[in-house]
Homo-oligomer: A and B are copies of this chain.
């Protein structure tokens, strides 16, 4: 009441605007800027959270590798988003499809939008780093780095422009936003974009050697340190106070309510994921599900934290935890996508669900459109995001696979060494065979440092020319179920038999595999 009185007095008083703290003529930034800068720091800190979360979930040898990718995608984002990405996303819009200007920091000064830049950079970094976890353990550093550059330059900024392109230039009319699409802090714009790129990446790069046995049954790969992952969840949760709370771009009365909603959804999701895993999923992977459920609760509330009540936040969280658990199993066991940290379930499906929650749980007076129209537009955004992101990612990973190769060598995958020449190498005898002699995968050295892995079936269906030239160049290794190298002769004999069998059933151009 007292505040109201003051406000009224201000309204009727003479124009007596005062920059209270700027007494010394310095150009002091506003409290809003301070909050958004702090929020940017919290979101930047989420990089560490992702790194810690993911590191704990992969096996011991892959810890350093995933950490390096987490670091390098922030590096890639920092440079690429500065040079081009930010301009594409927030620059002056061309028909609502792409921005221009604001490249290389140009124009940030005029708009006084450095703080906004830092906040958005931290967001871009989040989208990028989601990919690293899903592809961890077998993806090589250089192609991953290139993919991060492309994502930060093209994929993230383009879709981002369609949904948020009017945040800086209020007169931009990005097409999705103009439809009325609402995604407050980026369930779709940030999280789903990252997850769908990860989805394609996981599919193209193939599973870790040994993840699925020859019958396609999932094999448990021991996490290096769950306790470390829990630290990651805590850091992420903290970072989300900034992620959602800072998305107001002002330190207004919405901020603490948003943080409260964020907190409630995460907590409710942790509880529902825990009990769901205990009661309905035979207590399997309970701790992983608590962690993933918590994060899904955070992702889900991201789109709608500013339009739902705190009671609804609890419900959203409960549902998010269950959705996570179901998708966790579906993705790894049904779809056989090897996502070691569960990123696709958390960010992809959590993102979709959260974006729908805007329409499902949002208070009508805060929505852009009547509820059911809003729901339709939310679906348009979700589908657009999926189609656009997966198509571009497919093109990107396909090119990388065909040129420099996406994977590390089988030996690097097993030892965790960064480069074949590294001194740490040589600990294991590369030619030693362990386990059976039955070919399960074929590893091809595509470029100087890049490898790809094929299932046997994929490999024999490649054109004869390809296979012959690779084999002639000594670029092929045959692996058994556990990833160990099989003697060449034995392996090629098996493949020839397989080609013979397949030849009689297909019209393909398959020929007998050359025996050297």
A residues apposed to B, CB below 8 Å: 3, 6-7, 9-10, 13-23, 26-35, 37-38, 41-42, 44-45, 47-48, 51-52, 55, 63-64, 66-68, 70-72, 74-76, 78-79, 82, 104-105, 108-109, 112, 114-115, 117-118, 121, 220, 225-227, 230-231, 233-235, 237-238, 241, 250-253, 255-257, 259-260, 263-264, 266-268, 270-271, 274, 278, 282-287, 290-291, 294, 310-311, 314, 418-419, 421-423
Contacts and interface: CB of A to CB of B under 8 A. Distances in A.
Contacts of A231: 48, 51-52, 55, 67
A9 B13 contact: no
Contact of A15 (B9, B112, B263): B9
The DSSP consensus for interface residues of chain A is: helix
The 7 closest A-B pairs by CB, nearest first: A114-B256, A67-B230, A78-B267, A63-B227, A64-B226, A67-B227, A48-B234
A251 B28 contact: yes
Contacts of A235: 48
A467 B410 CA distance: 56
A17 B300 CA distance: 41
Contacts of A422: 283-286
Contacts of A29: 31, 251-253, 255-256
A71 B290 contact: yes
B28 A70 contact: no
Contacts of A286: 418-419, 422
Contacts of A14: 16
A432 to B, nearest CB: 22
Given A231-B67, A267-B75, A282 B421 contact: yes
A252 B63 CA distance: 40
Contacts of A311: 104-105
A267 B74 contact: yes
A78 B31 contact: no
Contacts of A230: 51, 64, 67-68, 70-71
10 contacts: A28-B250, A28-B251, A34-B35, A74-B267, A82-B264, A114-B256, A115-B256, A118-B260, A278-B419, A286-B419
Nearest to A66: B227
Given A6-B19, A78-B267, A419-B286, A251 B34 contact: yes
Contacts of A10: 17-19
Q: How many copies does the complex hold?
A: 3
Given A47-B234, A68-B290, A114-B257, 12 more contacts: A7-B19, A13-B16, A17-B23, A26-B250, A29-B255, A31-B31, A72-B274, A82-B310, A104-B310, A114-B253, A114-B260, A286-B422
Contacts of A30: 21
A236 B338 CA distance: 32
A71 B251 contact: no
A47 B421 CA distance: 34
Nearest to A13: B16
B287 A64 contact: yes
Contacts of A268: 79
A426 to B, nearest CB: 12
Contacts of A18: 10, 16-18, 20
A78 B27 contact: no
Contacts of A20: 17-21
A220 B418 CA distance: 16
Which of A14, A37, A109, A423 has most B Cβ within 10 Å?
A37
A423 B9 CA distance: 68
A334 B251 CA distance: 53
A416 to B, nearest CB: 9
Contacts of A52: 231
A93 to B, nearest CB: 22
Nearest to A226: B64
A296 to B, nearest CB: 14
Contacts of A55: 227, 231
Nearest to A115: B256
A253 B78 contact: no
Nearest to A52: B231
A290 to B, nearest CB: 7
A362 B484 CA distance: 56
B47 A264 contact: no
A75 B270 contact: yes
A259 B44 CA distance: 12
